[in-house]
């Protein structure tokens, strides 16, 4: 797998899902890094870009500060694949959740680091577990 998109849905509202996601992320030693800027209609609005009021895309940036600091201390080239975003929006009256996952082979091609492909896969698995717990 070069890359794929993890896709899931929930009947929870976006607000309820993101609140539950924040709790779940904490249990997995992650934080939501951009709480004040994840609601894209507001973020774009601050830049003078008008969107429909029902434009409800949220781009949730997640990070594990201790793990990220340790990983980046080993190799700054890893930063190109960090941080991770979880995209949340409404479609067909359900909250949609998406996350881009990079395959080990692609990570190995992008970053010259023998340990990083496996570490990145473990990171993605942990994020998906946290997402599933928040559903």
Token pair belonging to 122 = 């473990």
Q: What is the 3-state secondary structure (H, E, C) of 87-106?
A: EEEEECCEEEEEEEEECHHH
Instruction: Give the Cα separation of 129 and 134 in Å (integer).
Output: 9
Prediction pTM value: 0.92
Model confidence pLDDT, tens digit, residues 62-104: 999 999 999 999 999 999 999 899 999 999 999 999 999 999 9
DSSP alpha helix (H) spans, the chain = 14-27, 40-46, 65-74, 104-110, 116-134
Average pLDDT, the chain: 95
Q: Looking at the domain that runs over 3-134, which CATH code has it been given?
A: 3.30.310.70
Q: Domain extents for the chain?
A: 3-134
Give 132 or 44, the one with higher predicted confidence. 132
Instruction: Give the Cα separation of 30 and 128 in Å (integer).
Output: 12
Token pair belonging to 56 = 């409800």
Q: What is the pLDDT of residue 36?
A: 82
Q: What is the pLDDT of residue 2?
A: 94
Token pair belonging to 23 = 């709790």
Instruction: Give the Cα separation of 101 and 123 in Å (integer).
Output: 10
Token pair belonging to 134 = 């928040």
């Amino acid at each position: 797998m070069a890359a794929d998109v993890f896709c899931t849905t929930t009947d929870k509202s976006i607000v309820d899902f993101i609140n539950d996601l924040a709790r779940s992320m904490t249990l997995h030693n992650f934080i939501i890094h951009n709480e004040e800027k994840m609601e894209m209609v507001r973020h774009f609005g601050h830049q003078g870009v008008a969107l429909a009021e029902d434009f409800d895309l949220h781009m949730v940036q997640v990070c594990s500060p201790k793990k990220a600091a340790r990983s980046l201390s080993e190799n700054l080239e890893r930063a190109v694949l960090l941080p991770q975003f979880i995209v949340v929006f409404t479609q067909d009256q359900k909250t949609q959740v998406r996350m881009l996952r990079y395959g080990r082979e692609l990570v190995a091609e992008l970053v010259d680091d023998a340990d990083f492909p496996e570490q990145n896969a473990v990171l993605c698995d942990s994020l998906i577990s946290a997402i599933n717990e928040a559903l």
